[in-house]
Homo-oligomer: A and B are copies of this chain.
C-alpha cells in the first residue's frame, strides 16, 4: 500500500538517539541519587510531593491519581508499598465507603523534607545549569509540543 517505509534522516536519527539516551541515563541517575540519599524511589518522591502540595497532606485516591497522572492500579500498588514503609496511611471515607484517602504521615513529611533540597540541587546541577535560559525555554516548549501530539493521537 504505502511506499518504502520512511526512515529517519541522519540528523533526525541523531536527535532521536540522543534524546532516548538522555531519557535512560537521566532517569537512572535521578533514581539512584534519590535512593542513595533519601531511600526513596522516584515514584515515592512524586507521591509525597503531591501530598505535601496540598495543605492537609491528604488526598482522595482519585485526586492523587490525577495529580501525578498515573493509572489507578499503579497508584494502588504504590500506596500499598508506601503504607508498609510508614510513609503514608489510608483513611476510610465516611460518606462513601468506596472512596479512600491517602494521608502523609509525620515520617513521610520528614522524609520528603529531608530529600527535597538535595534533589532540587541535583536537578539544577545536572539539567538547569547545563542549559542557557533560552535553551531551557525551548526545552519547555518542545516538551509541550510533543505532549500535545501525544494527546491528539491516542490510538
Contacts and interface: CB of A to CB of B under 8 A. Distances in A.
Contacts of A144: 18
Interface string A6-48: 1110011011101101111111010000000000000000000
A139 B129 CA distance: 16
B16 A123 contact: yes
State the oligomeric state as a number of copies.
2
A104 B92 CA distance: 53
A80 interface: no
Given A121-B5, A127-B16, A22 B147 contact: yes
A93 interface: no
A153 B153 CA distance: 38
Contact of A25 (B12, B16, B124, B147): B147
A137 interface: yes
A27 B23 CA distance: 9
Interface of A: 5-8, 11-12, 14-16, 18-19, 21-27, 29, 69, 116-117, 120-121, 123-131, 133, 135-150, 153
25 contacts: A6-B121, A11-B133, A11-B137, A12-B136, A14-B140, A16-B123, A16-B128, A19-B140, A21-B69, A21-B143, A21-B147, A22-B143, A23-B23, A23-B27, A25-B150, A26-B150, A125-B149, A125-B153, A126-B146, A127-B146, A127-B149, A130-B145, A130-B149, A135-B141, A135-B142
